[in-house]
Amino acid sequence: MGAWARRIRNGLLAAAVGAAVGSAPAATAQPVDCAAVKCVALTFDDGPGPYTDRLLQILREHHARATFFLIGDKVAADPAAAARIAGAGMEIGNHTWSHPDMTTLPPQEIAAQFAGTSDAIEATTGQRPTLARTGGGTIDDAVLAEAQRQGLAVINWDVVPFDWINDADVSATREVLMRQIRPNSVVLLHDTFATTVDVVAEFLPVLEANGYHLVTVTEMLGPRPPGSLYGGRDNGPPADELVDTPG
């Protein structure tokens, strides 16, 4: 199936799930050309969790899409939460079953970490993920080879604002976002912190004022080859490209 057919099918599925849970219609999937306009792909790891639905509501209010890398055992514990993420028009990626350092595992456990998570996501959303991110973004050749066998492209990030460290002082998270985001950045965040959701609520208007479109990883990067690796684990030099907005 081609990317467009898949996107249309996903859109229909997302609308159906949205209707099933009685939520507002999914954000209309207007295609965005990230070669022509400024895009950023916010990614949220480690959910679903207690703050995920509030984040979805905020994203919905801003007609923003994002990518959620979900942990398999959390999806299995709360499959409806994962279905709501898909129903809101978000992309879902595989964040392993239990968030180990994948580079320390024997091959059969690497395979099980990816496969169990993709199975759990597909069981509740009807959609098998094509993207994966490992716990901590740790990768080696064995992990990439298994990702390739399972049809998964590995996505790390361009911008890491350390929201999990800055939980008590989110001004530091905001500062990294201000300085590091540039067109086509993939940004690592975690919807497992209430303060991260607060920062996103405050920061989306800044991105909008700077002309950014909030899209999923696949919308921004296009289909990625299984077994490939995008991005790194550190921030590069600051871009200082964003203009802050009052308030």
Binding residues for Zn ion, rule: CB under 5 A, are 45-46, 135
Catalytic residue among 53, 95, 158, 190: 190
Q: How near is the Cβ of 133 to Zn ion at its closest, in Å?
A: 7
3-state SS assignment for residue 50: coil
Closest approach, Cβ 173 to Zn ion, in A, equals 16
Which one of 45, 46, 53, 191 is the catalytic residue? 45
| Residue closer to Zn ion (CB basis): 45 or 53 | 45
- DSSP bridge pairs for 214: 40
Task: Give the residue with the Cβ less far from Zn ion, 46 or 91.
Answer: 46
Q: HSE (CB half, 13 Å, CA atoms) of 239?
A: 15
Looking from the CA of 68 toward its CB, the CA atoms found within 13 Å total 34
Mapped onto helix, strand or coil, the DSSP state of residue 33 is coil
Whole-number Å distance between alpha carbons of 240 and 176:
10
List Cβ neighbours of 86 (8 Å cut-off, separation of 6 or more).
13, 14, 17, 92, 124, 125, 126, 127
- Return the number of the residue (79 or 135) whose C-beta is nearest Zn ion: 135
160 or 206: CB nearest Zn ion: 160
Look up 190 and say whether it is catalytic: yes
CB of 162 to Zn ion, least distance (A): 13
Residue whose beta carbon is closest to Zn ion: 45
In the complex, the smallest distance separating the C-beta of residue 196 from Zn ion, rounded to whole angstroms, is: 12
Active site residues: 45, 190
